[in-house]
Structure 1
Amino acid sequence: MKSRRIGLEAEVVRYEPGKGLEDGVELWSDVVTKGWIVTDYLVKLKKDDGSIMCPYILNRRGRVFICEGDYIITDEDGTRHVCGEDKIWNRYEKPQEV
């Protein structure tokens, strides 16, 4: 049986530090030593004390770290995702400029 996916609306925002789009941050050193992820393009925020932090969002998969150029997607039900700039407009309809 074939079926069509119901169109959903979502808020799509390019990540910018200082806008409160992340759910938290983790020390860069912890991300590197504890994770099995590619860390080359992760956003790195430097705190006043010199420590480097990596922002993330929480969803059903756990912590999803944000990379340079990523977009934060918030679905109608509040579920949040991260999507790279190389894929975002293939998956979501680009809004009309006002």
Structure 2
Amino acid sequence: MKSRRIPLESEVDKYEVGKGMEDGFELFSDVVTKGWIVTDSLVKIERPDGTIVCPYIKHRRGRTFIGEGDYIIVQQDGTKNVCGADKVWTRYEKPEA
């Protein structure tokens, strides 16, 4: 028996600082010392106290840090994912204007 994917509607928005799209923030120093990820393109936000934090979204496998130019995908069930600008429109259809 063949199966096929059923298309689902998702909200696809380019990440913007200050819009509340993230689930939390991690100190950049902790991301660098505790993680095994490339930090060059991560969004870095300087807080008034001088600390630098990186935004992330939470999902069933943990956290994904948001990079410059990334899109936040919100599924119908509220599940969030991060998708790079280089792949987002190959995986999702652009809405018609």
**Same fold (TM > 0.5):** yes
RMSD: 0.6
Q: Distance in 2 between matches of 1:10 and 1:90?
A: 14
User: TM-score, with normalisation over the residues of structure 2?
Assistant: 0.98
Q: Distance in 2 between matches of 1:50 and 1:78?
A: 33
| SS of the residue 1:40 aligns to | coil
Paired position in structure 1 for 2:72: 72
Query: Is 1:54 aligned to residue 54 of structure 2?
Result: yes
Q: Distance in 2 between matches of 1:89 and 1:34?
A: 32
Identity %: 70
What 5-or-longer segments of structure 1 have no aligned partner?
Answer: none
Q: Distance in 2 between matches of 1:56 and 1:2?
A: 37
What are the Cα deviations for residues 39-60 of structure 1, in whole angstroms up to 9, with x where unaligned?
Answer: 1100000000111000000001
Q: How far 1:3 moved relative to its partner?
A: 1.2
Number of matched pairs: 97
Paired residue type of 1:26: E
Q: Provide runs of 4+ in structure 1 moved above 3 Å.
A: none
